[in-house]
Chain A
Amino acid sequence: MKALCWQGKNKLEVERVNDPTILNPRDGIVRITRTAICGSDLHLYDGYIPTMEPGDILGHEFMGEVVDTGAEVKRIKKGDRVVIPFTIACGQCYFCKHELWSACDNTNPNAWMMEKLYGYSGSGLFGYSHMMGGYAGGQAQFARVPFIDVGALKIENGLSDEQVLFLSDIFPTGYMAAENCDIKPGDVIAIWGCGPVGQFTIRSAFLLGAERVIAIDRFPERLKMARAGGAEIINYEEVDDLVEELKWMTAGRGPDACIDAVGLEAHGMGIASAYDHAKQRFKLSFDRPTVLRQVIQACAKGGVVSLPGVYGGVLDKIPFGAAFGKGLIFKMGQTHMHRYTSRLLEHIQQGEIDPSFVITHRLSLDEAPEAYRIFRDKQEECVKVVLDPWREAAAV
């Protein structure tokens, strides 16, 4: 089959590799019909996530048709149309039983690596470094899905691939980010980053009853999309002081919750940002926590800081005094996917949201390396790329 392989920083190749086979009795094999490039894939592309190896197959947002199942698979049958959540969960351990699916104890074959770095290991993820399990990802024509009975979301009605594909990661991730804010009537939510997750966070915040949503970015096309979702917008390049601007917009209260949908590759401005860039350049740090600093500074007293954006290592110059002084609540982590998939499918079926609004580029798998570059550099007004692994590359 064809698969997109990581070959080093900024180096991706579409290669011919073996088809996946059933390795464990609870595995299933999925013939992928649509797959997407996630913002967090860009951290791999830019080489900021440790324990990636040349030859690793990327991709954790995918869906398709089940073509084979292991002996112990009961719920899912061959021929089922399924969306696969990006976290792998066993469904039996303490964490799975307590709905903390992305903390599953039993799905990371390289748990020892993550334990060395983080103390404890979370669940395995598709196509996201060996530390996170080293599972082959879904930017390929087929993928092996461990514990398919536990994770796979069956799609049994006429919804199109593009409408349900984002249940594999970004829609639940955006939703959890908003849910973490514990939204009460009258709440104002500020969201840094209007990428795909940011867009879903905006809409989820409204679904959960937010009064106002303020979206922050610098790309006009993304801000336009945020405004279409009902948010008020700030282009941070055009304001002097973002925190003051937010204070002004909320009449001195500050946003009741601040969401960092940017993560470790914040663009940022000013001296702090230059310092972060330099540190990252010399491999002293994986992260550039510009946005994290801002959300802590901007958040209202007793408010919630919610982090769907990914951080990888040890951060510094974090205004923790401000966090303590204001009594902030921090909520973060990999999305507990299995908690949200069927709930959000319901929203899509009811017509309350059509997730395909976020797609700007529809390409073939062969064009994936180019697609990563466009997406990373925000060229061609790119917000979200969806790949069809079976389509031939369009003649250029």
Chain B
Amino acid sequence: MFRTRVLLIRTKKNVAAPAHHSSSNLNLTFQIQTMKLTTLGRGGKLESEETCPHEIYSRTLSQSPTTFSGEPMTITTNAFPKNREEEFSNRPATSRLETAIELAAGTALSIYGIVRRDWFGAGFAAGGGYLLYCVASDLRRPYQGSVRVGFTIAKLPQEVYEFVRNPQNWKIGVPGVELEPDANGGLSVRFGDGDRCSLNTRVAVTEEKPGEYIAWASDIHMIEHRGVVHFKQAPGGRGTELSVAMEYKAPTGPISRSLAMMAGFDPEQIVREGLRRIKQLMEAGEIPTTNGQPVGARGVRGVAKRVIFRERPARERPAIDTQPQRLAGD
């Protein structure tokens, strides 16, 4: 869990790779000369080093312009297929169905066993108890999920691409996000208000074709995610189809995932609302809001529900100049 995989690659500039080095939608345009997969343990201690064949990671390598130097390039990633398998990472994930079945069967068996009050009953109760133990340990297993969201934006693909590619605009998609470029050409991403809970992750663009797609992967175990943003011309002059497909693995079980959802950390929600805000800002020039409008007395129930509607009292509302104001092309 605390291991980091380091990929060391030596590349040669501007040589197209043979077709079999490419997966269906990625096309490497540099030749890989040497590759080494290094596994680092806690504190950066070297654990193992192996040389990998090309095919394994032709899908996750970076094509960022800064790497066309013929110099060795290092990508740190654990969103990286291991042992030729399409494995996201080797930590097993839990599913809700699995947990639900275990919980139901465990409870039923335990109760039946206790009610029988004989040695067979003790057996049943022990079996049920084991299932309940599995449920409890499931709560600590990571959760794996995927997100697919698409929005059609009435702008040209190039405009949308440029807007999305600019990390400064990510703050619009995910309010409160903090970004910090790091030495490897990646980005440290931190969001959350810091007081209640926050999330840290590092993102590197792994593959990109300007105006068409951007693929990314995270490389810190806090929350693993990788995915691709596609920009496609929509039919009939409807603009651009902006879509995100991603998969993620959160270090939490179902309970903490539900809590995270309430705090606004559900990946699906973040991506969907982020894309929506981008669409709203690009098309209408502003993001609609009711935060800061007058309201009457909310009452006890109303105050509780304010959390759901993300309402802030009038005085806490930031000034309008926190929003870029000239994007609608008017």
Contacts and interface: CB of A to CB of B under 8 A. Distances in A.
Interface stretch (B81-89, B181-189, B279-287): B279-287
Interface string B297-317: 111011001000101001001
Which of A54, A91, A97, A140 has the most chain B CB atoms closer than 10 A to its own CB? A54
Interface string A32-76: 000000000000000000000111110000000000001110000
Interface in B232-288: 238-239, 269, 272-273, 276, 279-280, 283-288
A134 B290 CA distance: 7
B179 to A, nearest CB: 25
Given A106-B279, A136-B293, A24 B298 contact: no
A144 interface: yes
A239 B21 CA distance: 80
Nearest to A130: B309
A245 interface: no
Given A19-B294, A144-B293, A133 B320 contact: no
Contacts of B320: 22-25, 70-71
Contacts of B276: 111
Given A25-B320, A111-B276, A112-B272, A56 B295 contact: yes
Contacts of B273: 112
A136 B284 contact: no
Contact of B154 (A72, A92, A147): A92
A26 interface: yes
Contacts of A105: 279-280, 283
Interface residues of B, number: 40
B39 interface: no
A124 interface: yes
B288 A107 contact: yes
Contacts of A18: 294, 314
A374 to B, nearest CB: 22
Nearest to A22: B320
A73 B34 CA distance: 59
Interface in B206-233: none
A23 B295 contact: no
Contacts of A71: 320, 325
A53 B285 CA distance: 29
Interface string B311-330: 10010010010010110101
B285 A72 contact: yes
A280 interface: no
Nearest to B236: A94
A92 to B, nearest CB: 5
Nearest to A115: B272
Given A53-B302, A55-B299, A23 B292 contact: yes
B31 interface: no
B296 A17 contact: yes
B154 A124 contact: no
Interface in B17-52: none
Contacts of B152: 94
Contacts of A133: 288, 290
B286 A26 contact: yes
B285 A92 contact: yes
A90 B295 CA distance: 24
Given A90-B283, A106-B279, A17 B295 contact: yes
Contacts of B283: 90, 92-93, 105-106
20 contacts: A5-B295, A7-B296, A7-B299, A17-B296, A24-B320, A54-B297, A54-B298, A56-B296, A71-B320, A71-B325, A72-B325, A90-B280, A93-B284, A94-B238, A105-B280, A106-B280, A107-B284, A108-B288, A133-B290, A134-B290
Interface of A: 1, 3, 5-7, 13, 15, 17-26, 53-57, 70-72, 88, 90-94, 97, 105-112, 124, 130, 133-136, 140, 144, 146-147
> Which 10 residue pairs spanning A and B have beta carbons closest together?
A5-B296, A90-B284, A55-B296, A106-B284, A17-B294, A54-B299, A54-B302, A55-B298, A15-B296, A18-B294
